[in-house]
Structure 1
């Protein structure tokens, strides 16, 4: 489950791109804390500490703003498209017992039966849960599963207090039969035939003739040398 991560925060009084750049140059991150029924609170977060905190998925933060504590869930993180550094963070105030819909990553582990291919159709599941009870991830095992096996979203075991929002009939993992090299070549040939692609025999004949000419030339050179 998600752990609380404490971060000091300062209120911001300057806004705009210029102010945001000055904040980042000071190794800090501009942020906005949203709370239903109250105006948004503009904050500045410590750069390195925030970066480390946001490595955890669905991090729940305890913000200390001028001695006042706020429990917050990360709503959105804006990053530099090239450097991938954090440029801005949106947060939302949460309360114990209040439920939210979040996306939880799904990890597939194990080895399916020989000569099979495992395809993951969903990499995350949407669930409704309390902010203080957010799972870190879900794990699905494909160990020894035969071709033709399908794992649906509804088959994933959820912790108590967590409700699935994703369609339970949604395909999560699909195990199919691996295609042989011969079958692959046959499919390729069929596809080329349907597309009207033909390999002219003349090309092969010219290649063979070229090889024969090269060999004959080599023999003549040997005779002259002799």
Structure 2
């Protein structure tokens, strides 16, 4: 079920207005899509942090002027230092429609003894029902041998979810790690220090 947030309409724009909102604990956002005019709003900073925490493609119900709007968080901008959310792009969606989103790859299982797996594709582009976007696409490498790989075509996607990526794209590779040849250290030969000869007194 989508988290529900109260949003306040805003009519002042620009960097100065956005800074004032953030000082007041609000985050500026824009709601767009479905052929309607964009709506500029702000939401509570703490509430939006909790609603989006740990989610790749959060779906929210935003209440604007008493009306519920189902939205997908399409872009989330953060402060590069504090990581606080600074702005949101919210795409209007309907419960029955499909949307294109990037979903993270998650690997489970252990490959054959002596091998390791390498993730070549961190996210895969899919088309999924707006209200049933998978949190991750799981790749099971249990028992896979050296040299085997998983492509986009091999992915087990949930019902109703379609891949939009090239089916031949490699997602995970299983290989045997190569030992690093370290150069041998040359033996250090101690050189005897020559003591200065005592000077003869005349």
- Structure 2 length normalisation: TM-score? 0.89
1:133 aligned counterpart, secondary structure = coil
Give me the CA root mean square deviation.
2.1
Question: 1:168: which partner in 2?
Answer: 167
* Superposition deviation, residue 35 in structure 1: 2.3
- Deviation of 1:36 after TM superposition, in Å, equals 3.1
Aligned counterpart, 1:36? 34
Structure 1: 5+ residue stretches without partners: 190-198, 218-226
Stretch of structure 1 that moved more, 20-29 or 114-123: 114-123
Where do 5+ consecutive residues of structure 2 fail to align? 196-202
CA distance in 2, matches of 1:64, 1:144: 49
How many residues align structurally?
194
Cα offset, 1:68, TM superposition: 0.6
Runs (4+) off by over 4 Å:
none
Matches within 5 A, 1:142-161: 142-161=141-160
Residues 112 and 143, structure 2, Cα contact 8 Å, conserved in 1: yes
For residues 100-138 of structure 1, give each alpha carbon's deviation from its aligned partner in whole angstroms, at most 9, with x where no partner exists. Answer: 110111111222122212111011111111211211111
What is the distance in 2 between the residues matched to 1:135 and 1:103? Answer: 10
Distance 2:80 2:173 in 1: 33
How much does 1:76 deviate? 0.6
Higher helix share: 1
- 2:199 aligns with none
